[in-house]
Each structure stands twice: as structure tokens, then as C-alpha cells.
Amino acid sequence: MATLEGLKIVDGIALHYSWTPFAADADVGDALDVNRHTRMTIQMVGTFAGGLTVIAEGSLVAAPSTDADYFPLTNGSGTAVSFGSIGGMLVGENVKWIRLRATAGSGGASVTGYILAVV
């Protein structure tokens, strides 16, 4: 399992963050504090291979420390924010913390996840 650090760019209104590279099952992106950001979009780019699936998870826990502190996010219509190929999706829930996590994949992939969160 690899923990992926991200790059954060903040301009006071929007937060732009990236996690890279997701390559295999159990790769986990650092949790990002998105408190006060009510509109979020996630985009995945790169090469999906080996059955890689990446999901978005959120938490309302003040300081999440285990996987059990997170829940799967949806697009607001009940569809999971989950990627098995390149694409983008809105996030429907308001959460304090957001992260990306690979739930399947045997290697050979190299995928970057981006989030744009707006106040």
C-alpha cells in the first residue's frame, strides 16, 4: 500500500489538488481538508491498467485516522464517485475531509487524480 501525497494550490476561493500516481490496489491519497468548499469535481487522467479502480471517500470525523472513518462519496444522484477509466464527476456530499483510494488493481497503471473545490 502506498500513501500518495498531493500538491495543493489555493487562491482564496478555489482549492486545486492532485494525487499521483495511483498504480495498484490499496494506494491511498492523503486526506484533503475541504471544509467550507461546497462544490467539488474530481477528474482522473492517465493509464488505467490491471483492473485499477479508484473511489472518492469522505469523512466528517474531526481527525480521521482509520479507513472506518471514511464513507464512499456519490455524485448526488446515488452514483458512486468511482473510476475504472479516465473521466470526471461531481461530488454530491459536503464533507470535511476527502481522499481517493484504489480498491482494485494489480499494477501497471499510472493515474493522477485532481480535485477542484470551490467555496
Residue 105: closest CA among 4, 1, 31? 1
Total domain count for the chain? 1
Question: How far is residue 68's CA from residue 50's CA, in Å, rounded to a whole number?
Answer: 26
**Domain carrying residue 87:** 3-118
Spans of the chain below 50 pLDDT: none
pLDDT digits (tens, 9 = 90+) for 41-59: 999 999 999 999 999 999 9
Q: Please state whether the predicted TM-score (pTM) of the whole model is above 0.85.
A: yes
Supply the pLDDT for residue 4: 67
Q: Are 117 and 58 in contact (CB under 8 A)?
A: no
Residue 76 grid cell: 448526488
- Domain with residue 89: its CATH number is 2.60.120.220
What pLDDT shows up at residue 97?
Answer: 98
